[in-house]
Amino acid sequence: MNLLSDRIQNLSESQTIAMSKKSREMQESGIDVISLSLGEPDFNTPDFIKDAAKKGIDENFTYYPPIAGYKDLREAISRKFKRDNNLDYSAEQIVVSTGAKQSIANVVLCTVNPGDEVLLPAPYWVSYFDLVKLAGGTPIVIPTQIDNDFKITAEELEQHITAKTKLLIFSSPCNPSGSLYGSNELASLSRVIAKNKGMLVISDEIYELINFEGKHASLAANQEVYDQVVTVNGLSKGFAMTGWRCGYIGAPLWLAKACDKMQGQITSATSGITQRAAIAALEAAPSEMNYMKTAFLKRRDLVLKHLNEIEGFVTNLPKGAFYIFPNISGLFGKKYGDQTISSGQDLCVFLLQEARVALVPGEAFGSPQCLRISYAASEEVLEEAMKRIKNAVQKLK
């Protein structure tokens, strides 16, 4: 007898997590797998952040914190939004959660009714799609082209808006494409969004600090859409704090209150110790973290150089985050023994078996012609992985 709910049976497992789990299992059984599957900085959390957490323990920040986060953390976030993004969010408009993933889940569960349409420019981050389904919404995928750096134009957005559109979710810098929307592009999107007051937007800016081009642009800085936008951010990527679980939103007050209520029934607040660490992180100058960005940029160029030497891999120039999202459809139809490559999934399975390199298929992000390479690994590891991929692809006939 199957006692599981329809809800969980209809939910897919996160492909990013599934691939990293698989490679971890292979490594544990003694197989030499290189995993470039998980989006996780390979840096330790900086000492000044750890010190603040240790102090937090000694000062007994070990009780249930307020659901939306300690007031002084929310005030620090409010100052961060003003300092870095020119955004005015009061502490009451901020909700801190156990990671940006929960922040996004809260907003989706608080806004999407069954039958509502949610626009997802593809490639989208893997969890957006299933969170929308979990809420009973209908994901509407908007395809993009590598020639336009996998970004949607204002016209494409407008074409997909219907009377049922409730939400648009996108990330910039983008996981998995590494693309950035500049302020002019966001201004054009804003003009379309402002004409449709029945829709909201989740602007996922968790990779803000990993931007190789210059200043980060926030959608909500366009005043005409400020009331329609939820700005999501978090500490996992920019501060190398994936395991600490801290994400946050700046939102219209009514929505921040709803997320507080939702979170109060599901998880309560994130750990008080994490919150003390988060204050230290957010009060530091963002340039403190530039050393990671510098390392990522060098690695991006290293991986791109190798990929461009492999027949069948077409790349663009990712300008942020730590991913490359090559189009590999040039390899479709090629064979290895009796295996034929006809999707990103097929190539990922082949590369895992043959090259012992774990990547994530583009299907997870709504783009089956592509695959995602996370270059959050050392240069030596990346060199070895590229060598293995090159050799394996040469075996395809």
Binding site for ligand GLU (CB under 6 A): 14, 16-17, 38-39, 101, 126-127, 175
Q: Kindly state the smallest distance separating residue 293's Cβ from ligand GLU, in Å.
A: 18
Answer whether 90's CB lies under 8 Å from 234's CB.
no
Residue 234 near which of ligand GLU, ligand PMP, none (CB within 5-8 Å, type-dependent): ligand PMP
Three-state DSSP class for 67? coil
Q: Hunting for tokens 């959050």 — which residue is that?
A: 376
In the structure encoding, which two tokens stand for residue 330, read together? 């040039």
- Binding to ligand PMP by residue 218, rule CB under 6 A? no
Q: How far is CA 294 from CA 51, 300, 303, 375, in A?
A: 24, 10, 15, 13
**Structure token pair of residue 151:** 């970004």
To ligand GLU, the closest distance from the beta carbon of 127 in angstroms equals 6
Fill in the per-residue mask, 77 to 116: x = in contact with ligand PMP (CB under 6 A), - = not in contact: ----------------------xxx---------------
By CB under 6 A, is residue 247 in contact with ligand PMP? yes
Cis peptide bond upstream of 176, omega within 30: yes
- Residue 17, binding choice from ligand PMP, ligand GLU, none, Cβ under 5 to 8 Å by partner class: ligand GLU
Q: Indicate the residue whose CB is closest to ligand PMP.
A: 99
CB of 41 to ligand GLU, least distance (A): 10
Q: Does 125 bind ligand PMP (CB under 6 A)?
A: yes
Phi, psi (degrees; rounded to nearest 5) at 378: -70, 160
Q: Which of 65, 121, 234, 326 binds ligand PMP (CB under 6 A)?
A: 234
C-alpha R_g of the chain: 21
20 is an interface residue for ligand PMP by CB under 6 A: no
Looking at the Cβ atoms of 27 and 242, the one nearer to ligand PMP is 242
How near is the Cβ of 397 to ligand PMP at its closest, in Å? 36
C-alpha dist (Å) from residue 175 to 125, 135, 212, 245, 336: 6, 22, 15, 18, 30
Q: CA-to-CA distance for 347 and 331, rounded, in angstroms?
A: 8
By a kind-dependent CB cut-off of 5 to 8 A, residue 342 interacts, out of ligand GLU, ligand PMP, none, with none
**Cβ 140 to ligand PMP shortest distance, Å:** 19
The label of the residue with tokens 């490594």 reads 27
Residue 38 near which of ligand PMP, ligand GLU, none (CB within 5-8 Å, type-dependent)? ligand GLU
Specify the residue, 103 or 329, whose C-beta has the smaller distance to ligand PMP: 103
Of residues 74 and 388, the one with the C-beta less far from ligand PMP: 74
CA 232 vs CA 90, 101, 195, 357: distances in Å? 15, 9, 22, 32
Q: In the set 27, 183, 196, 242, which binds ligand PMP (CB under 6 A)? A: 242
250 sits near ligand PMP (criterion: CB under 6 A): no
Q: Please count the residues of this chain forming the interface with ligand PMP, following the rule CB under 6 A.
A: 13
Q: DSSP E strands: which ranges in the chain?
A: 34-35, 94-97, 117-121, 138-142, 165-171, 200-204, 229-234, 247-250, 323-324, 335-336, 339-340, 357-358, 360-361, 371-374
Q: Is 39 in the site for ligand PMP (CB under 6 A)?
A: yes
Token pair of 49 as six digits: 């952040």
Relative to beta strand 371-374, strand 323-324 is antiparallel
Q: Does 267 bind ligand PMP (CB under 6 A)?
A: no
Question: Does position 151 bind ligand PMP by CB under 6 A?
Answer: no
- Choose which of 37, 85, 171, 374 interacts with ligand PMP (CB under 6 A): 171
In whole angstroms, what is the distance from residue 153 CA to residue 393 CA? 34
Q: Give the angle 105-132-118 at the CA atoms, nearest 5°.
A: 115
Shortest CB 126 distance to ligand GLU, Å: 6
Under the binding rule (CB under 6 A), the answer on residue 375 touching ligand PMP is: no
Binding residues for ligand PMP (CB under 6 A): 39, 99-101, 125, 171, 175, 204, 206, 234, 236, 242, 247
